[in-house]
C-alpha cells in the first residue's frame, strides 16, 4: 500500500488549503478506487505524453506499485475525474491495475482546470508554447493581471510577460517552436520585427541558415532602422493562409499522429501536399517509432558496430 505523500509543488496555493482540509477528513489521506470508475479530464492541458515515459512509469508501477496517489474529483454517476496525475493514471491502465490509490477533492470545473494547468506548468519537459498557452488560460479563467498571475504560479513577472508575448507570433512560428525548430529566444527576438510578413521571412531565414538568437536580434535591430529586412532574408515561405476548416482538419491529423507515436509531430503544408516530421529525444523513442511503422529497430547495435569500425580506422 502506498503511503500518503505531498501533492507536489505543481498544485496552486489557491487550492492547497482546501485540498489539505479534504485530505485530513480521511484517515489515510487517500482511498483506493476501482480504475473503471475513473476517467481522464477532457480539458487536460497536456494533449499527449511521451510513450517512453509512460512505459518507464508502467514498469515502475508493476514492480513497486503506485507510490503517489492521483488527485481526482467526484462527478456524476458515482464516477471520478482525474485532476492531477493523468500520466500516472494512464500508466496504471497500461499495467492493468484494478484499483488506484487516489485523493478525492471537491473542485469546481474552473478549480480543476487551474490545478491541472499549474501542475503542467511545473513539468520539466513542457515546451515554451505549451507553457505560454497554459499561462494565458489561467490568466483568462481567473481574470488576473500579469502580476497576480506571476504570484499565483510562482514565476517572475518578467518570465510570465515574456512567455505570454510569444503567443503574438504567427501560428507557423509557434508550430516551429513546439517542434523545437527554433527556441523561445528566437521567438522573442522575432517579436522585435513589427510586421507579420517580415517575421515569417525572418523565420524561414533562421531555418535555412541556422541563425543564432543574436543573429535574429541583429535582424530585428536592422528592421527597426530600415523598416525592411537585410537582403539575405529574402527567403520565401508559404504566403497562402490556411482556411479555418482545413486548419482544423490538419490539427486533428497532427493530434492523431502524436497520440499514435507518443512524441511531438510537425506538419507543414495542406491536405493536398506537405510534409510530416517526427521529433524524438532518445534512442528508445526512435526505436519505438521505427517499430510502430514496421522498420528494423536494431539501430543501437549497428551504430555501436559502425562507431567501433571507425575508431579502428583512425
Do 30 and 108 fall within a single domain? yes
Tell me if 7 is assigned to some domain: no
User: How far apart (Å, rounded) are the C-alpha atoms in residues 153 and 238?
Assistant: 37
Do 27 and 66 fall within a single domain? yes
pLDDT at 260: 81
Residue pLDDT, tens place only, 110-128 = 777 777 777 766 665 667 8
Residue 43: closest CA among 95, 106, 111: 111
Do 87 and 17 fall within a single domain? yes
Q: Which of 86, 111, 178, 285 is catalytic?
A: 86
Q: What angle do helix axes 146-153 and 128-142 make, rounded to 10 degrees?
A: 110
Please give the average pLDDT of every successive group of 10 residues along the chain, which has 314 residues: 38 48 53 91 65 81 84 89 86 89 84 73 72 84 85 86 94 88 93 93 93 95 93 64 68 79 73 75 76 74 43 42
Active site residue 86: yes
Q: 143 lies in which domain range?
A: 127-168
Burial class (CB in 10 A: 0-12, 13-18, 19+), 170: middle
Do 249 and 303 fall within a single domain? yes
Statement: the pTM of the whole predicted model exceeds 0.85: no
Do 25 and 114 fall within a single domain? yes
Tell me if 5 is assigned to some domain: no
Tally of domains in the chain: 4
Do 138 and 153 fall within a single domain? yes
Do 20 and 113 fall within a single domain? yes
Do 192 and 208 fall within a single domain? yes
Tell me if 148 is assigned to some domain: yes
Amino acid at each position: 500500500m502506498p503511503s500518503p505523500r505531498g501533492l507536489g509543488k505543481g498544485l496552486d496555493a489557491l487550492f492547497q488549503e482546501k485540498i489539505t482540509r479534504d485530505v485530513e477528513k480521511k484517515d489515510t489521506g487517500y482511498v483506493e478506487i476501482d480504475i473503471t470508475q475513473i476517467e481522464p479530464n477532457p480539458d487536460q492541458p497536456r494533449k499527449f505524453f511521451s510513450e517512453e515515459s509512460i512505459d518507464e512509469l508502467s514498469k515502475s508501477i508493476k514492480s513497486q506499485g503506485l507510490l503517489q496517489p492521483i488527485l481526482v474529483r467526484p462527478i456524476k454517476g458515482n464516477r471520478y475525474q482525474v485532476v492531477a496525475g493523468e500520466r500516472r493514471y494512464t500508466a496504471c491502465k497500461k499495467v492493468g491495475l484494478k484499483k488506484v490509490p487516489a485523493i478525492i477533492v471537491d473542485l469546481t470545473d474552473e478549480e480543476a482546470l487551474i490545478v491541472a494547468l499549474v501542475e503542467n506548468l511545473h513539468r520539466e519537459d513542457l515546451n515554451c508554447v505549451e507553457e505560454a498557452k497554459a499561462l494565458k488560460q489561467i490568466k483568462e479563467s481567473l481574470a488576473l493581471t500579469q502580476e497576480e498571475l506571476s504570484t499565483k504560479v510562482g514565476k517572475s513577472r518578467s518570465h510570465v510577460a515574456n512567455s505570454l508575448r510569444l503567443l503574438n507570433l504567427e501560428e507557423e512560428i509557434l508550430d516551429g517552436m513546439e517542434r523545437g525548430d527554433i527556441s523561445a529566444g528566437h521567438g522573442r527576438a522575432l517579436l522585435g520585427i513589427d510586421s507579420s510578413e517580415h517575421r515569417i521571412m525572418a523565420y524561414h531565414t533562421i531555418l535555412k541558415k541556422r541563425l543564432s538568437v543574436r543573429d535574429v536580434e541583429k535582424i530585428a535591430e536592422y528592421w527597426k532602422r530600415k523598416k525592411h529586412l537585410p537582403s539575405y532574408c529574402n527567403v520565401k515561405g508559404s504566403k497562402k493562409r490556411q482556411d479555418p476548416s482545413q486548419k482544423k482538419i490538419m490539427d486533428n491529423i497532427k493530434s492523431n499522429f502524436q497520440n499514435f507515436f507518443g512524441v511531438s509531430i510537425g506538419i507543414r503544408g495542406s491536405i493536398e501536399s506537405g510534409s510530416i516530421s517526427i521529433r524524438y529525444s532518445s534512442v528508445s523513442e526512435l526505436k519505438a517509432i521505427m517499430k510502430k511503422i514496421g522498420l528494423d529497430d536494431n539501430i543501437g547495435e549497428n551504430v555501436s558496430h559502425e562507431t567501433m569500425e571507425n575508431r579502428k580506422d583512425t
